[in-house]
Structures are given as C-alpha cells and as structure tokens.
Structure 1
C-alpha cells in the first residue's frame, strides 16, 4: 500500500501549462497515483501511470454521474459559489453512468459509425479545399481562425443540422468557449444553449435527416430523453464534437511547422498520415486530464487505495508519455506504433467522435501540406500565447506565412484504412 500518495498533496502552480510534462515526470517518479491541489481549490487524485490510467478509464467503480459529482462537491466544499463548475454540470452521456450512459450513447452511435463517417469524406475534402482557397488570398493568416477552427465547427454543425447561415455564430462561440474564462465564457454558454433551445423547437416542427432531428424523434417516441437531456446532449455534441479536433489540428500543425523534415516526409508519403495522427495524439493530445470521476467506495489503483468520496482525474497526457510503454516518450516519432495511446480515452467513455476527428485530421494535414509547401510560423515559437484551463491548454492564435510558392490543387488523396477508433 502506497501511504505516501495518500498524505502528500502536489500543487498545480501557475506555470503548469507552460511545461506540464516536467510535472508529470516528477510525479511519475513518486508513483502512478498522487493527490493534487488545483487552482480552483479542489483536491483530487490524479493517475499518471499508463497501466493504471488504462485500468481506471474502464473501471465502473469510478463514477461520472453529474448528480453524484454535484452532491459530493457540495458536501466537500459547502462555501463554494453557487455557479462553481462542479456544481453545475450538464446532464449528458459524458457525465453519466450505466445504464443511463448506455441509453444516451446508443442514440448517438449510429451517426458516428465508420460507414457514416466514410460517407462524410467528400464533404470534408470539399470544405477543406474551400478554406485553403480563402487562405491563398493572403500572405499571412491566423491558421486557427482561417482553417483549424472553421473545419471541425462546420462539420459538426452540418451533422447536427445547424443552418449554414448560423455557422459563423458557432465559430465565434467556439473561440469564446475555449479561450475565455469566467463571465465571458458563461455568457457564451448561455447564448449557445438559448440558440439550441430555439433550434430544437424548429426541428421538432420541421424535422430533417440530421442528428438533432433524430434525437428529438427518439425522445418524442418515448425513448425517455428529457428536455434537459436533449439540450445538454446537443451542447455536448457541438462543443466536444469540434473541440478535440481543433486541438488535434493545432498541435499537429505546430509539429509540422517546427520540423521541416517531418513535413517533407508526410508530403512525400501521405499514406503515413494516419500513423502520424496517432503519434500527434500521443505526443501532445487535446486533453491532459480526463473529465472528473469520483469514488463511491474505496478503490485500489496500482498499490494506492483511494477512499470513498474522492474526486479522481486521469492524466492521459502523462500516461501517453510513460516510458514503460513508449520508449523515448518525449520524442515525436511518426514511425513508432502509437496505437495504444489514450488520447481519445478508453473503455465505455471512449470518444464517440474519434473516427470523425481522425478523418478530418488526415484530410486536413494532407491538403495543407500539399497546398502550401512553404508554410512557416510568422513569429518565434516562444512568442505564441496560450490560454490555460484546468485539464487542457489552447493556443490563442497561430500566425503563419503561406510562402510565395503555392502548390496547385491536387486530387484528393485516396482514403487510407483507419484504425478502429474509440468519450473521455
């Protein structure tokens, strides 16, 4: 039994996001499980070892119920403000346990099968080329605003049936949700939920073939989706459905911009892109910590017993740099077998949108590399500014120069078989 882990509490300092792996390496030397004190004041347990993280992600004794998390938070932190994040969780499938989770996920799964995602590929390619055409009109652009954010936002909006005329508003909400905190972020959520409430009303009266219409139809035919569940599900799909891909495209683009040899290799061999996407996810994935879980009974993870009534996070980014699984983990190597990474989670809450994220990234990187072979950062890497949230960090902007030589548009790359893709 690891008694040290139960007594010592590590603090997440302000510089954590500047170099999180410095913390992970130090913590891993102490053991695979530890306690941390977050800037919000919440103390939780953190799993950093790969084997322990993989086991924890599939352990049903680590609960995710929004009601359970809210109740435990109020018990442990009764003086916390009424609008504290852990006191106001959405009731969606990411914050639910079985059988509720199984019921909610079943309603969404059909929209994210490999066949359904494969049918989206021509539309993804068309949207990608349209965005690159707009970029080509400039010498310098913010790659986030011009390409990285619009592509996944447009895809998930199309899947849910958001009218094209409303998509620019979603792009603005997406920026605010991932790059601001406090009242501004709360206001963006209120605006998003208000819009979706109206969209649900319109689609109930005039349903289409989109995912949101199908969810409404399932509810109205007695599948027990409450009004709150329906709205929370729509919010989750829109936010999660693009957020992971935005960060994957961001970190992957940064890797390409910082390593000319990597760009050259993938430009010459596009068939290596799916493996490269997996390595991008392992090396610097979109999420550092999983969404929060809690214990309802004592649980042994590794050789550490976590008591009942405790919050637990799983540091998937730390697990993905565990040298016991990935030799030289701090080296980006697209030749390694990175298929075991936990960037999309593992177990029952494996990311339902993973196949879509993989396809969008493969198409986007292939087109970007071929269209703009001289793409370069427009500022020193050290000048890039990041916005930090608990669990993940997002780039505020990514200025790039397109270069004077633009490669001609090419025919779409032939699809490469995707690895079976796994909600965190």
Structure 2
C-alpha cells in the first residue's frame, strides 16, 4: 500500500489513518517516496521495540552507499549524530549531553522565563496574535542560539533555513537549505576560533581541537543538528499543545485556574499531538520480526511516533485529551539510545511558555475556526504554520 503520510489530507489530521492501519496490523509494508518499499510501525509496543532494537540501523551513509538518489544534501545534514550507530553515535552524544541535563536546564530557566515575558510583551493591544510566529518559534530559536553562541542578527535567517529543511515534497529547497546552513556554521566555527567565547559551540570547538577526537566535519554536523533540533521540537510542541487546549475548553479552564498544573499536564499534551510525527530514518540490517510481521534485511522502517502515542492498547481512549492521564511513557521524544537529548530543555521551554501565557492572558481564544488551523507541509515533524489567537 502507499504510505499515507504522502496524502495532503494527512497533514490536517493523521490519526484516523493511523488508527485504520493499526487495526489491520501495527506493522505493515508501505510504498514510500519514489516507490521505495518499506514498513510502517503504528503500534505502541512495536514502536518502542523498534526504537530500541540495534538491528535497526540509523547509518544512512551505509544504506544509500552506491544508490543514485539525485539528491545533494550537505553531508553535515545528511550524516548527523541522528544518522549514526554506536560507537560513533555514543561518542558524539556524550559530547553534548552535559548541556541538556536537568541541572543545566534548571540554570537556563530564568533566561527562558525572561525571553518568554519579553515576547509576550509584544502582544498587540487588540486584534489577533499569531502564537506560532510570536512565541512558539522565536522562544526556542532565541534560547538555542544563545546556548550555541549564534549572533542575534543571524537568528532570523537561521530559522528560515531550518524551516526549509523540513519542506515536504521540495527536495531542491531542502538541499539548498542544507548547504546554506552548513556553510553558515562552518563560517561561525571559524569566527569563534578567532574570537572564542564560552557558549556550547565554543566548547565543541575545544573538543575538536583537543583530545576528544571530534573531526571538523563532525563539529559542523553537531552544530547544525543542535541548532535545528534544538528549536523544531519545542516550536511544534507549543503550537500543538495550545491548539489542543483551545479545542478542549474544560482542559483549558483547568489550566487557566491552576497554571501550576501545567508541568503535570505536559506529558499528556505531548502524547496527544506529537511534535515529531515519525522517527528519523532506520533500516533493518538483518531480518527482524516485529509485531508478528517478518521484515526482511535492508528495508527502511518508519516508526510513527504520533500513531504509537494514540494506540488504545497502551493509552485507553487515546483520542481523548485527559490531563489526569499518566502519559509519561509517551514516545514524543523517541526511546532508547536515540531518545531526544534535548528533551529536558524542550519540556522546560514548553512549560514556562504555556504557564506564562495562561497567567498573563487567561482569556486567550482562537481567532480562526477550530477546524481550520494552517499546518506546516512537513513529514518528519508535525506543527502549525500559524495559530491566530485573541487575548
């Protein structure tokens, strides 16, 4: 069957299609882009198993070696830490993990709160406010750029390149953005070598130039990955969470009256409409049985995180937003060794932003019909292009 994620209607609401596929089989063959055969995983148990199975490799360079794709993605984007297996992945992840520990994120919270307030200060006195353009996107962009040491003047362009990297169905746009982003980070690394600072990128440069065996290509690739992944998840999660609340008045009223309940509600909001729709590329290195389905060797496997988070076998009444649900086991950040290293930062940003919004603007409401939000045309991530609201 054809991969349902290729259907434009899928952007608006993927969950009925996921449910239909799961009811037939939680793991089934699909025809992906270009007619390439693969398998789609929609069940929770099967997704969790696949994400932790070392026989499902993420080494895209090995998979595509000798294959003609017609693409010209820059290696810094095509071969990131997300596209590597141990021991390379383990070594690269270790270099960045300390920047995103619970303690490190706790030290960033006052800065995140200050940026949030500054952005909300720009809320217009009357008329609609685009929550995506005014808070959901700029907050994590500012925070990750500050953490990495990206100059303020460069941040709008960096965000545009990042958005273009996820442009579904536009390979030329994606490829061009990959080169622009990689060229920019290469130049920034050179500038920081000349005038070093104390940001995360400076520390990665020190690792490159020290004893941690980080190559120049790996340095640029890590910088690009951190910059893009460091804000995409939060930006999409924030928009999806607010839209879910605005569509569920009882849940919104509860958090309006109890803003301190936002942290506990966040896992359910992340489960309900996952910011990352499908996990990044994997393929079988040998035959694998998953969910009773035999997957041959050398075949791509797409793990639909959004589908897994709506699996009734794991989350009863999954299409219901239930703030009392224990949803801590959701897969919105993945699972296993490749679980999103920036998850603590993303959750802190989302919590602080939603709490501040509901405290300062308790009357927030949709400025467009609830069934007509504008979704981004992407496959890997799921997020809103805009979300006009009123105070």
Q: TM-score range by the shorter chain?
A: over 0.9
Query: CA offsets per residue over residues 63-103 of structure 1, 9 Å max, x none?
Result: 0013113227x1xxx4x4243x6999522211100000100
Moved over 4 A (4+): 85-89
Q: Greater relative contact order (Cα 8 A, min sep 6): structure 1 or 2?
A: 2
For residues 131 and 269 of structure 2, the distance between their equivalents in structure 1, rounded to whole angstroms, comes to 18
Which one of 179, 182, 189 corresponds to residue 190 of structure 1? 179
| Residue in structure 2 matching 1:369, options 353, 358, 372 | 358
Aligned pair 1:29/2:38, yes or no? no
* Whole-angstrom CA distance in 2 between matches of 1:230 and 1:343: 27
> CA deviation digits over 1:198-243, x for unaligned, max 9?
1100112222211111111101113222211111111110111100
**Who is 1:169 aligned against?**
157
1:188 Cα deviation (Å)?
3.0
SS at match of 2:246: helix
Matched residue, 2:235 = 246
Q: State the secondary structure of the residue aligned to 1:44.
A: strand
Deviation at 1:314, TM superposition (A): 0.8
* 1:338-390 deviation per Cα after TM superposition (whole angstroms, max 9, x unaligned): 01101100100010000001100110000001111121211113332223222
The answer to whether residue 380 in structure 2 is matched with residue 391 in structure 1 is yes
RMSD between aligned residues: 2.0
Deviation at 1:27, TM superposition (A): 1.2
Q: Which moved more, 1:235-244 or 1:223-232?
A: 223-232
Report the CA distance shift for 1:339/1:236 in structure 2 as closer, same or farther (over 3 A).
same
Matched, 1:150 2:138: yes
Post-superposition offset of 1:133: 0.3
TM-score under structure 1 normalisation? Answer: 0.87
Q: Which residue in 2 is equivalent to 1:44?
A: 38
Q: Is the 8 A contact 1:64 1:293 kept in 2?
A: yes
Check the 8 A contact 1:290/1:315 in 2, yes or no: yes
**How far is 1:40 from its partner?**
4.0
Give unpaired runs (5+ residues) of structure 1.
1-8, 403-424
Matches within 5 A, 1:312-391: 312-391=301-380
Q: TM-score, normalised by structure 2?
A: 0.94
Indicate yes or no: 2:97 matched with 1:103: no
Per the alignment, residue 119 of structure 1 pairs with 107
With 368-377 and 107-116 compared, the bigger mean Cα shift is at 368-377
**Shift in Å, 1:137:** 4.5
Using the TM superposition, name which of 302-311 and 335-344 deviates more. Answer: 302-311
Q: Which residue is equivalent to 2:60?
A: 66
CA–CA separation in structure 2 for the residues paired with 1:54 and 1:186: 31
Which residue does the alignment assign to 2:268?
A: 279
The count of aligned residue pairs is 388
Q: 1:267 offset after TM fit, Å?
A: 2.0
